[in-house]
A and B are shown apart, each in its own frame.
Chain A
Amino acid sequence: MDRIPILKFGNALLVTIQVDMHDRLATALEEDLTSKIVEFGAKGVLIDISALEIVDSFIGRMLDNIAAVSRILDADTVVVGMRPAVAITLVELGLSLTGVKTALNVERGMALIHARLKTSDSDDDDEE
């Protein structure tokens, strides 16, 4: 079965979803991301959904799950590139995705992850 590739980008993981995922693929992605966060000690997960024309409640739940699991594993999740039509539809559907941070594109998403990492790093320095 095809699996969605996960790229390592510094201490972050980058996923670009470009296909209309069937449920098994979405579940596999959740599992793969979880194990990779642990394997690489990743501090950030960036999910690029700019190619997705449809995000339904199943995918929404997947994004929420990934964000929740990442948080437990001390990593931030940022979802980037949501299309306007998708955003409007998700709001109407009632999916708030409150546990998920968002950014306009990959560049901004990475900046967000690094900004948060900087803050926690400087906190550690103060304690020494």
Chain B
Amino acid sequence: MENLLQTIVDTEAEIAIIDITGVPTVDTLTAQHLLKTVAAARLMGADCIISGIRPQIAQTMVHLGVELNVVSKATLADALSVALERTGRAVIKLKKAAAVADQNRTPAEKGQ
């Protein structure tokens, strides 16, 4: 937890994505730890998005009575998408990037 929080400070992150794709099961202790991490990050001014929550984990948390009132996404890609949108950023297609690079090359570089 301390690593994540210190990294938020060091990188001045506005959003932290916590990916739990590799976590097989979530017991009460793990869920509480997750909630505490999210709460601490919020106190520091960073929002959290949890990604990789599998249906079984979501069910376990409901049965444990854990209320995860933080945005959660199924995949890391979805979480990244939300984070980019929230911070006013976007990823442009590679084709466009190549075309722009091409425009900036001199005729000599283009082999003409």
Q: Is the CB of B9 within 8 A of A91?
A: no
Q: Is the CB of A87 within 8 A of B43?
A: yes
- Interface: A84 (CB within 8 A): yes
Q: How far is the CB of A48 from chain B (nearest CB, A)?
A: 12
Query: How many pairs, one residue from A and one from B, have CB atoms within 8 Å of each other in the complex?
Result: 52
Task: For chain A, residues 69 to 86, give those with C-beta under 8 angstroms from any C-beta of chain B.
Answer: 80, 82-86
Q: Is the CB of A91 within 8 A of B36?
A: yes
Task: For chain B, residues 1 to 55, give those with C-beta under 8 angstroms from any C-beta of chain A.
Answer: 1-2, 5-6, 8-9, 12-14, 36, 39-46
- Interface: A1 (CB within 8 A): no
- Chain B hits for A105, CB < 8 A: 12, 45
Taken residue by residue from 88 to 128, chain A's Cβ proximity to chain B (1 for < 8 Å, 0 otherwise) reads as: 10111000110000111100110000000000000000000
A102 to B40, CA, bound (A): 11
Label chain B's interface by main secondary structure. helix
- Chain A hits for B2, CB < 8 A: 84-85, 88
- Chain B hits for A84, CB < 8 A: 2, 5-6, 8-9, 40, 44
Q: Is the CB of B45 within 8 A of A82?
A: yes
A87 to B43, CA, bound (A): 6
A105 to B42, CA, bound (A): 13
A84 to B9, CA, bound (A): 8
- Chain B hits for A109, CB < 8 A: 45
- Chain A hits for B42, CB < 8 A: 102
Q: Which of A97, A103, A104, A109 has the most CB of B within 10 A?
A: A104
B→A interface (CB under 8 Å) = 1-2, 5-6, 8-9, 12-14, 36, 39-46
